[in-house]
């Protein structure tokens, strides 16, 4: 049992590390994109707001697989990069960013408008009011759904194997087809569970703490 | 409304969404005219044979999605009831299954099902079944969790009241709790359907014929992969966008305290946030 896994342990560790790299970089990218577009959706005017809405609607209603295929071929054709990990990071960040936009937007809207108005009338500038009054309150509503999105993102990194990014599923699949055994896949599942269950635990802890201090 | 975004009366605004769309169409037209969009790469999309290829792919996609949805809805009921009503070792077993499946990527489940069935010597003539089994395993677990959250959200007093009126446990479940739970989870089911339709594309990876595979054989012939992926994305968008509108409308109609919340699914998260 598990001999092919232990015989190729480094191979699996490489995949595990790549999965974590994909997750962390795509998550940072998604939060930046999401915050930007959420600001456009809330405070943007005219065409800017429409662009932000179009971004959210288009990318959340399209399969991640098709998006990743698109970036992989497009980036290779234009000569920007042939590295599947980079293409996957771009694709995962843009896809997840659409969902983060919705979460951050609802976080901003959950803060009462009078909070901003009274902060302004106390002499804070618009940016100061956002930084010290609105943001700390918005973060509280945003954290639990953001934690859920991070779990979904870890699961979605597996799709990067379709463009041959050497992440956990890809590495495990190579060993499985080479040895024609199922236990490499068991190792892959354990690898993903270790990440998703940890994130689920952290999310529920944060959720409880934020709920108490309210 | 006291939302941050709205200050005072809203000014009448131009229909920017439509203007943007018109601008986009004009830009594409100009692209063909001036030539920065290569006409020869897009022209094959105008042939009727192309749409026969895509049509058959789409039919297979909808078949996989439809059968998986019906099967998942059916299997999720015993899973949810098992987690609510069974005595402890069994309840724990069902809970572990549901939580474990939900925490695993769909693509991994599809790969394991495909590889495992091949190893067992199961060989389907209709290859769609590999995808249907994998997607059903995953979607039934998510729907079971949604349904469980719906059942738990019904106040205990309702079961107690119906029990004291002489209904058995299962009768009160059947006639009082489940109808309310299902009505509360409808928006979540629709949003999970969006996830399911997007996930059918993953069947391509285990070589099940569907619309992405149809696209690939198409661009292998015409040599226009980037354009084909754009068209594929638009096809999925055309199916999913109306569904996401429906889901959000249903969700908005639901009182805040009756909303069913289940994590770990991006589409569900996006539907839940107001």
Tokens of A144: 């639990």
Residue-wise pLDDT for A62-81, tens only, equals: 999 999 999 999 998 888 88
- Give yes or no for residue A213 having a pLDDT over 60: no
Interface contact flag, B226 A66, Cβ < 8 Å: no
Compute, in degrees rounded to 10, the torsion defined by CA atoms B143, B147, B150, B155. -170
Q: Which three-class secondary structure state does DSSP give residue B22?
A: helix
Closest CA relative to residue B79, chosen from B139, B21, B123, B5: B139
Say what the pLDDT of residue B261 is. Answer: 73
Q: B72: pLDDT confidence band, cut at 50, 70 and 90?
A: very high
Interface contact flag, B263 A151, Cβ < 8 Å: yes
Residue the block writes with tokens 């697989």: A65
The predicted model gives A177-204 an average pLDDT of: 91
Q: B13: pLDDT confidence band, cut at 50, 70 and 90?
A: low
Inter-chain contacts counted by CB atoms under 8 A, chains A and B: 183
* The Cα angle at residue B196 between residues B57 and A42, in degrees rounded to 5: 115
- Give yes or no for residue B8 having a pLDDT over 70: no
Residue the block writes with tokens 């399911």: B196
Residue-wise pLDDT for A4-41, tens only, equals: 778 888 889 999 999 999 999 999 999 999 999 998 98
* Cα of A2 to nearest chain B Cα, Å: 16
The predicted model gives B49-61 an average pLDDT of: 89
| Window B:82-121, CB contacts with A under 8 Å | 100, 103-108, 111-112, 115-116, 119
Taking the CB of residue A51, how many other CB atoms lie within 10 A of it? Answer: 16
Q: Report CA A87 to chain centroid distance, whole Å.
A: 15
Taking the CB of residue A77, how many other CB atoms lie within 10 A of it? Answer: 10
Q: Which residues of B5-21 are buried (b: 16+ CB within 10 A; e: fewer)?
A: eeeeeeeeeeebeeebe
Lowest mean pLDDT among A183-187, A194-198, B31-35, B45-49: B31-35
- Give yes or no for residue A113 having a pLDDT over 90: no
Residue-wise pLDDT for B221-272, tens only, equals: 888 888 899 999 999 999 999 998 898 888 888 877 777 777 768 888 887 7
Q: Which three-class secondary structure state does DSSP give residue A67?
A: helix
| Window B:11-30, CB contacts with A under 8 Å | 13-14, 16-17, 19-20
């Amino acid at each position: 049992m598990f001999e092919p896994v232990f015989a190729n342990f480094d191979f699996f560790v490489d995949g595990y590390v790549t999965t974590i790299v994909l997750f962390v970089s795509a998550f940072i990218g998604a939060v930046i994109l999401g915050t930007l577009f959420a600001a456009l959706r809330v405070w943007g005017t005219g065409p800017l707001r429409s662009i932000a809405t179009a971004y959210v609607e288009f990318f959340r209603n399209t399969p991640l697989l098709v998006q990743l295929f698109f970036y992989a071929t497009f980036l290779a054709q234009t000569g920007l990069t042939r590295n599947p990990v980079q293409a996957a990071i771009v694709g995962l960040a843009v896809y997840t960013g659409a969902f983060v936009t919705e979460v951050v937007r609802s976080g901003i809207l959950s803060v009462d408008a009078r909070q901003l108005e009274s902060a302004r009338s106390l002499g804070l500038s618009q940016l100061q009011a956002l930084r010290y009054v609105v943001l700390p309150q918005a973060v509280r509503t945003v954290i639990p759904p953001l934690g859920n999105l991070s779990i979904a993102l870890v699961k979605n990194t597996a799709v990067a194997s379709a463009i041959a990014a050497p992440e956990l599923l890809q590495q495990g699949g190579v060993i499985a087809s080479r040895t024609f055994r199922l236990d490499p896949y068991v190792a892959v599942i354990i690898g993903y569970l270790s990440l998703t269950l940890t994130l689920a635990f952290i999310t529920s802890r944060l959720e409880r703490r934020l709920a108490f201090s309210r | 409304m006291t939302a941050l975004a709205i200050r005072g009366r809203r000014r009448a605004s131009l229909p920017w969404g439509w203007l943007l769309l018109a601008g986009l169409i004009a830009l594409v037209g100009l692209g063909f005219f001036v030539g920065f969009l290569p006409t020869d790469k897009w022209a094959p999309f105008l042939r009727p044979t192309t749409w026969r290829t895509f049509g058959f792919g789409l039919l297979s996609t909808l078949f996989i999605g439809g059968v998986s949805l019906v099967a998942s809805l059916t299997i999720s009921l015993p899973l949810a009831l098992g987690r609510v009503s069974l005595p402890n070792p069994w309840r724990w077993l069902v809970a572990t299954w549901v939580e474990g499946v939900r925490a695993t990527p769909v693509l991994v489940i599809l790969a394991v099902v495909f590889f495992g069935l091949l190893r067992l010597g199961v060989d389907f003539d209709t290859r769609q079944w590999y995808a249907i089994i994998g997607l059903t395993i995953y979607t039934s677990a998510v729907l079971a969790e949604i349904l469980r959250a719906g059942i738990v959200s019904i106040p205990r007093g309702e079961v107690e009241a119906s029990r004291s009126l002489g209904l058995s446990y299962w009768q009160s479940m059947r006639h009082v709790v489940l109808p309310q739970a299902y009505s509360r989870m409808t928006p979540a089911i629709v949003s999970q359907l969006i996830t399911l339709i997007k996930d059918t594309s993953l069947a391509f990876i285990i070589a099940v014929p569907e619309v992405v595979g149809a696209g690939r054989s198409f661009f292998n012939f015409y040599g226009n992969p980037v354009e084909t992926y754009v068209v594929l994305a638009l096809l999925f968008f055309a199916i999913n966008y109306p569904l996401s509108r429906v889901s959000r409308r249903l969700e908005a109609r639901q009182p805040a305290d009756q909303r069913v919340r289940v994590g770990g699914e991006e589409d569900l998260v996006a539907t839940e946030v107001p």
